[in-house]
């Protein structure tokens, strides 16, 4: 049977690369995005070109009703058994003391509450067997001082979510894992006000460069598949040695 996987934030960056990899690996894919319908359409066309079925749903993962609508929409294609919690945001870089309450709430809302809302739907709806991958960050252990400590803290919380939920759902055969990327060359750094961050940090990374979205997608797809059948509660760091 063709697996059906839900990906949050699939219109750009790591999420878009994951949707494309999943389609190539034989998954049908339902993904959500918030703003950029044109970008979502382009990703959807690639799913179809890979011979798989896809659906793009405009849904904000911080809104419980929209999350329910995303999972309801997925039923058009079948019963999902996979979830990639990927939709995440940063805020402008700077020391914690300058952080605004609005930015703090947004970062926690998207990177933590949104992940939990989606994980709840998966836990309620997945049959026996399935897999959840939470996209965290190497920031969770590095702490990101002077840049976005609050973001790092939210990402560390998603790692704890992985550990606890993996144990809670193991009796039902649902595996839960994290992929923790290092610096990856995507648009997210523009939101932080450092569009060239990937180039700037390259010399600090043992492998000497920032990562590509498809290198994270490959790890996510592996964790969703049968090759990872005994892997649950794991945090897989894909960070070029950082
Ligand atoms: P990105 O290029 O900015 O893409 C983010 C995606 O998420 C977009 O499709 C965006 O859609 C969507 N999105 C954002 N907020 C959303 C919401 N509330 N509801 C639904 N969709 C939402 O980011 P990225 O670099 O690919 O990051 C993906 C994940 O990897 C994030 O969790 C991020 O924290 C994590 N990560 C990234 C890096 C890195 O260096 N890039 C490193 C470590 C971890 P719209 O454009 O429509 O809003």
**Side by side, which strands form the sheet with 82-85?**
54-58, 28-33, 4-7, 82-85, 130-135, 174-181, 235-238
Whether the predicted pLDDT of 191 surpasses 90:
no
Contact (CB, 8 A) for 123 and 138: no
Q: What's residue 128's pLDDT?
A: 83
Pairwise CA distance, residues 111 & 139, whole Å: 13
Question: Average pLDDT, stretch 219-223?
Answer: 98
Which residues have a catalytic role annotated? 151
Could you list the beta-strand ranges (E) of 121-203.
Answer: 130-135, 174-181
Instruction: Convert the pLDDT of each residue in 126-167 to its tens digit.
Output: 988 999 999 999 999 999 999 999 999 999 999 999 999 999
Pairwise CA distance, residues 141 & 152, whole Å: 8
Answering whether pTM is above 0.85, one says: yes
Atom of ligand 1 nearest to the CA of 210: 40
User: Ligand 1 site: residues with CB under 6 angstroms?
Assistant: 8-15, 32-36, 60-62, 86-89, 110, 114, 135, 137, 181, 183-184, 186-188
CATH superfamily of 4-238: NAD(P)-binding Rossmann-like Domain (3.40.50.720)
Q: Where are the domains of the chain?
A: 4-238
Q: Which region holds residue 193: left if phi is over 0, alpha if psi is between -120 and 50, else beta?
A: left
């Amino acid at each position: 049977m063709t697996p059906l996987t839900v990906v949050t934030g699939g219109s750009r960056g790591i999420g878009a690369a994951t949707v494309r990899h999943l389609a190539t690996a034989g998954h049908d894919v339902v993904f959500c995005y918030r703003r950029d319908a044109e970008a979502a359409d382009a990703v959807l066309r690639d799913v179809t070109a890979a011979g798989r079925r896809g659906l793009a749903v405009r849904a904000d993962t911080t809104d419980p009703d929209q999350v329910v609508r995303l999972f309801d929409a997925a039923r058009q294609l079948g019963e999902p058994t996979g979830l990639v919690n990927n939709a995440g945001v940063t805020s402008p870089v700077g020391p914690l003391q300058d952080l605004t309450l609005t930015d703090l709430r947004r970062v926690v809302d998207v990177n933590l509450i949104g992940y939990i809302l989606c994980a709840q739907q998966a836990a309620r709806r997945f049959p026996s067997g399935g897999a959840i991958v939470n996209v965290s960050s190497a920031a969770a252990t590095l702490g990101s001082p002077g840049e976005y400590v609050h973001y790092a803290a939210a990402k560390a919380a998603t790692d704890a979510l992985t550990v606890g939920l993996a144990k809670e759902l193991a009796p039902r055969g649902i595996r839960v894992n994290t992929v923790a990327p290092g610096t990856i060359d995507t648009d997210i750094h523009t939101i932080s006000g450092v569009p060239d961050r990937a180039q700037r940090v390259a010399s600090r990374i043992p492998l000497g460069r920032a990562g590509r979205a498809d290198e994270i997608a490959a790890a996510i797809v592996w964790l969703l598949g049968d090759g990872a059948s005994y892997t649950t509660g794991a945090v897989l760091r894909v960070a070029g040695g950082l």
